[in-house]
């Protein structure tokens, strides 16, 4: 079989995702290449490329979303997928850089010590994100009573270099989604601390937030 993968596209993806790209199946690689070359990918598009069952393709696409390779736009038959924004996390990213309040050095570094919602979020994120977010989630879990400013700092650090949804952020800080939106995310967007992935569609079903770069 003649390979349909453009070498340049595959090289860009390997550079973008690092060594974990080598763990993908050939079908997953083809899916990401299609998204990279065409700007998006969908279940119908992949049915043209391969002979997989639509249900299997949906499961595969959703798996790539869960692993942090793709982001989803739309719902149902109109769902499309785009390459996810990949954060560049340096060697010091697990430190708080003075922006996250300390609490006596007792931040837990074990997922078993976190609420189930936070653990579910961590498990759905790319491996390179987990160490830093585990620390941040541990900070939130350890200090139940924290000031709004401390919570904003945790959110700002968690969203730096990556997009997180309101559900993910709420789980990491141990809050309700709606209250997180009302008390933190919306004001932080208005204050230009955060920016939305879909700024023209505030109620987009796949809306996510990242720390605004200065």
Question: Could you report the per-residue pLDDT of 81-129, keeping only the tens digit for each?
Answer: 888 865 433 333 333 443 434 333 333 445 555 666 666 666 667 766 7
Q: Which CATH fold would you assign to the domain 7-83? A: Arc Repressor Mutant, subunit A (1.10.10)
Higher pLDDT: 56 or 139? It is: 56
What integer best gives the mean pLDDT of the chain? 77
Among the residues of the chain, which ranges form H helices?
7-17, 26-38, 43-49, 54-66, 116-124, 127-142, 148-158, 166-173, 177-180, 186-190
Residue 202 has pLDDT above 70, yes or no: yes
pLDDT over 70, % of the chain: 72
Q: Which CA distances in Å does 169 have to 76, 84, 87?
A: 25, 17, 16
Report pLDDT digits (tens) over 52-76.
998 899 889 988 888 888 888 876 6
Q: Where does the chain hold its CATH 1.10.10.10 domain(s)?
A: 7-83
Question: Which of these, 169, 104, 109, 172, lies nearest to 140 by C-alpha position?
Answer: 172
Residue 206 has pLDDT above 50, yes or no: yes
Dist CA 160 CA 179 (whole Å): 21
Q: Give me the pLDDT at residue 21, please.
A: 85
Hey, CA dihedral for 14, 214, 165, 104, is it positive or negative?
positive
């Amino acid at each position: 079989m003649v390979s349909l993968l453009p070498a340049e596209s595959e090289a860009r993806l390997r550079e973008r995702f690092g060594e974990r790209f080598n763990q993908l199946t050939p079908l997953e690689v083809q899916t990401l290449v299609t998204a990279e070359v065409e700007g998006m990918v969908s279940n119908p598009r992949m049915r043209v490329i391969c002979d997989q069952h639509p249900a299997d393709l949906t499961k595969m696409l959703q798996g790539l979303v869960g692993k942090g390779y793709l982001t989803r736009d739309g719902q149902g038959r109109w769902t499309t997928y785009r390459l996810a924004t990949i954060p560049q996390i340096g060697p010091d990213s697990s430190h708080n850089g003075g922006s996250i309040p300390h609490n006596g050095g007792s931040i837990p570094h074990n997922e078993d010590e976190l609420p189930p919602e936070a653990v579910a979020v961590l498990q759905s994120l790319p491996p390179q994100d987990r160490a830093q977010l585990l620390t941040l989630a541990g900070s939130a879990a350890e200090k139940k009573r924290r000031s709004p400013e401390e919570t904003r700092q945790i959110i700002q650090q968690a969203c730096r270099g990556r997009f997180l949804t309101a559900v993910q952020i709420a789980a990491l800080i141990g809050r309700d989604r709606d209250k997180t939106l009302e008390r933190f995310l919306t004001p932080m967007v208005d204050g230009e601390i955060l920016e939305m992935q879909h700024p023209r569609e505030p109620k987009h079903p796949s809306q996510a937030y990242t720390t605004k770069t200065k």
